[in-house]
């Protein structure tokens, strides 16, 4: 099978010069000849040669202008350009290299030198393409592996959430609503779709630590005693411990949410007593969404509040329990919150 030859574009308005270049290169390369700068530019855009030999002194559009335009275009910017010119001043070479040329050959040309220079830059061009090909393949392998790991992590989180649902049947609907509420506020904040996907799955694990709390406390229909409440508060540490130590964006976010979704803006929350922006943003959003869903849902110890009443409490706790900015996101996007509440019952 015959190897496909590389393509070289020759741009020169003097036929004698083109003839010399053609004679030097035609045995080894596929050649395209243009006799002025504009035709050379068009040929480069249409044919995408592997290398361009470009005269400088041409009417209408000189070689410097052709090179400048080539380098400004995405589809031709990486094609190596060698200037072939009678100009031999230092400033001429400096300008040529400044405009993006890779080499400079002074006329009258020596065919042996032309062949050697072209061969060198074609070889370099091919090596760069091969390197980019390997980089692309490696990036695709990394992306595939990352997708596999992400899917595995999400499957693990789903299994953990299912375990929590077995422990508390009401948890299932609470988790779903809570995750959707967090995504609504995250999107309003400006999170990208990839981060929102993380937020959805991470926020679903905010109460995973309740797996370590006894059913007697979780399902108690009356007010918890101080000791029972202290035990209930441990679910933040338990959840954070379950999710800690995995080198994963998803698990890191889930760990922070599990640990901080009961912190308060004024510093009176638990378990760490963090204040203001010491609380991670995801934890601040989860805190508001968790309280709103708790107020608007039936629990063993209380009836569900009307949505309007629950919304009023959130607004009243602006700057006290909740981040004022997150409260504004909540109020501005309340129609979306209502839609999720009605859909997930």
CA distance 229 to 213: 11
Q: Are 111 and 20 in contact (CB under 8 A)?
A: yes
| Cis preceding-peptide flag for 299 (omega within 30 of 0) | no
Please give the domain boundaries of the chain with CATH numbers for all domains: 7-137 (3.40.50.2300), 168-343 (1.10.3210.10)
Lowest-pLDDT range of 67-81, 151-165, 247-261: 151-165
Which one, of 306, 202, 185, lies nearest residue 251 by Cα? 202
* pLDDT for residue 330 is more than 80: yes
Kindly report, residue by residue over 98-109, the tens digit of the pLDDT. Answer: 999 999 998 888
Kindly report, residue by residue over 173-222, the tens digit of the pLDDT. Answer: 788 899 999 999 999 999 999 899 889 989 988 988 888 888 788 778 88
Name all contacts of 99-108 with Cβ < 8 Å and 24+ positions apart: 99/64, 99/67, 99/68, 99/71, 100/67, 100/68, 100/70, 100/71, 101/54, 101/67, 105/53, 107/17
In this prediction the pTM is 0.58
Which one, of 73, 17, 18, 15, lies nearest residue 41 by Cα? 73
Q: What is the pLDDT of residue 156?
A: 63
Which one, of 119, 281, 275, lies nearest residue 190 by Cα? 281
* pLDDT for residue 170 is more than 60: no
Kindly report, residue by residue over 35-73, the tens digit of the pLDDT. Answer: 999 999 999 999 999 999 999 999 889 999 999 999 999
Q: Are 38 and 76 in contact (CB under 8 A)?
A: no
CA distance 126 to 48: 14
CB atoms within 10 A of CB 62: 17
């Amino acid at each position: 099978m015959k190897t496909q030859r590389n393509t070289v574009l020759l741009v020169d308005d003097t036929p004698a010069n083109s003839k010399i270049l053609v004679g030097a290169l035609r045995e080894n390369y596929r050649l395209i000849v243009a006799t002025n700068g504009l035709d050379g530019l068009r040929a480069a855009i249409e044919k995408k040669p592997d290398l361009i030999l470009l005269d400088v002194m041409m009417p209408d559009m000189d070689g410097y202008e052709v090179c400048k335009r080539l380098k400004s275009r995405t589809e031709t910017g990486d094609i190596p350009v060698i200037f072939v010119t009678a100009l031999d001043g230092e400033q001429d070479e400096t300008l040529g290299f400044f405009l993006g040329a890779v080499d400079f050959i002074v006329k009258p040309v020596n065919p042996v030198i032309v062949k050697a220079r072209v061969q060198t830059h074609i070889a370099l061009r091919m090596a760069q393409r091969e390197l980019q090909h390997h980089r692309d393949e490696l990036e695709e392998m990394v992306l595939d592996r990352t997708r596999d790991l992400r899917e595995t992590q999400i499957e693990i989180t789903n299994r953990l959430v299912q375990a929590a649902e077995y422990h508390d049947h009401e948890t299932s609907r609470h988790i779903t609503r809570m995750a959707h509420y967090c995504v609504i506020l995250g999107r309003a904040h400006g999170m990208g779709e990839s981060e929102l996907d993380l937020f959805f799955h991470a926020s679903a694990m905010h109460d995973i630590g309740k797996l370590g709390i006894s059913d007697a406390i979780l399902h108690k229909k009356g007010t918890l005693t101080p000791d029972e409440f202290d035990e209930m508060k441990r679910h933040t540490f338990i959840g954070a411990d379950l999710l800690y130590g995995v080198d994963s964006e998803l698990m890191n976010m889930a760990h922070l949410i599990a640990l901080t979704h009961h912190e308060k803006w004024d510093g009176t929350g638990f378990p760490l007593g963090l204040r203001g922006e010491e609380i991670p943003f995801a934890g601040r959003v989860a805190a508001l969404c968790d309280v709103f869903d708790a107020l608007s849902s039936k629990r063993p110890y209380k009836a569900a509040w009307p949505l309007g009443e629950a919304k009023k409490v959130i607004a009243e706790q602006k700057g006290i329990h909740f981040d004022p900015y997150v409260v504004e996101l909540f109020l501005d996007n309340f129609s979306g919150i209502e839609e999720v509440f009605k859909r997930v019952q």
